[in-house]
Amino acid sequence: MNAFKAAVVQMRSGMDPARNAADFEALVREAAGRGAAYVQSPEMTGALVRDRQTLRRIVKDEAGDLVVDAARRLAAELGIAIHVGSTAIALPDGKVANRAFLFDRTGALVATYDKIHMFDVDLDNGESWRESATYQPGARAVVAPLAGVPFGLAICYDLRFPHLFRAQALAGAAVLSAPAAFTRQTGKAHWHVLTRARAIENGAWLIAAAQGGRHEDGRETFGHSVIVDPWGTVAAEMPGDEPGIALAEIDPHASAAARAKIPNLQNARDFDLDMLADDGLSARRVAS
């Protein structure tokens, strides 16, 4: 597994897929020009649209998606791997998938991943989100090989579910990913803590491109795209919410080195959990 330069592309996607695809292409070309061999874009690269009816009107299937087409073409033209953090994809049943795409340097599709965990929350500033009303949740985790490096795929809210990343690490992933569109409120409170924690607890690189700023649909996202090394050090970051790119050298062997120092993946043990209550004792088995 050879070292390579990775780039996170920070965007402020709006409601026009064609404009977003053009912005995506310009940033990918900039990253490739600065030596990136792997480029990751944020969640919902193709469009950030809160209104369900508007989204369903503009969303395309996989064959017709502008960002997917651009990523495939650019990967082959530039000779780099491109990871579309996600884009909305129309499904035959009328629902929509929040889907990531990973292309290798020839433009071949290596893997797709549909976001498993839906952001159904009510925040204390009045924000309310119900992704499950529009999106079909995924049902499978993915670890995909890219130039000999096992990559774990995840999207945004997945970051709050450590067992997903643990399963990928146990399957051999040396690089984890969490492209996102974190809200400004939740990002300010938790983004850096969660990205660093997922890297530390799994001894893996964590690459997380993000949306940033105020979007056309009215939402505000946190930005601060990051690349975190397996020891939890932020190797690269976009410091605010403006569009742009950040780059870092990824050494996959650093993952093995971190796991050798802190072998928590090997040391984990299953255990019994005793539930103590006034009316008796119940127990269940917990897998680590």
pLDDT in the model for residue 285: 75
pLDDT in the model for residue 152: 98
Q: Which of 1, 5, 27, 174 is nearest to 81 (CA)?
A: 5
Helix ranges (H only) for the chain are 17-33, 52-58, 66-78, 162-170, 184-202, 253-261, 264-267
The residues spanned by each domain of the chain are: 4-262
Residues with catalytic annotation? 43, 115, 156
Per DSSP, what are the bridge partners of residue 141?
none
- Determine contact, residues 102/153, Cβ cutoff 8 Å: yes
pLDDT in the model for residue 236: 98
Helix ranges (H only) for 149-210 are 162-170, 184-202
Report d(CA 187, CA 98) in Å as an integer. Answer: 20
pLDDT in the model for residue 127: 64
Residues contacting 103, CB < 8 A, separation 6+: 71, 72, 75, 81, 82, 83, 84, 109, 110
Which of helix, strand or coil describes residue 49? coil
pLDDT in the model for residue 125: 66
Which of helix, strand or coil describes residue 144? strand
**Could you state, in chain order, the average pLDDT of each consecutive group of 10 residues for the chain (288 residues)?**
94 97 98 98 94 87 97 98 97 92 98 91 67 88 95 97 97 98 95 98 98 94 98 97 98 97 95 80 73
Report d(CA 177, CA 111) in Å as an integer. Answer: 13
pLDDT in the model for residue 51: 82
- Determine contact, residues 204/255, Cβ cutoff 8 Å: yes
pLDDT in the model for residue 282: 74
Largest CA distance in the chain: 67
Which of helix, strand or coil describes residue 244? strand
pLDDT in the model for residue 3: 94
pLDDT in the model for residue 281: 66
Fold of 4-262: Nitrilase/N-carbamoyl-D-aminoacid amidohydrolase (3.60.110)
Global pTM reads 0.94
Phi, psi of 150 (to 5 degrees): -75, 120
- Determine contact, residues 10/238, Cβ cutoff 8 Å: yes
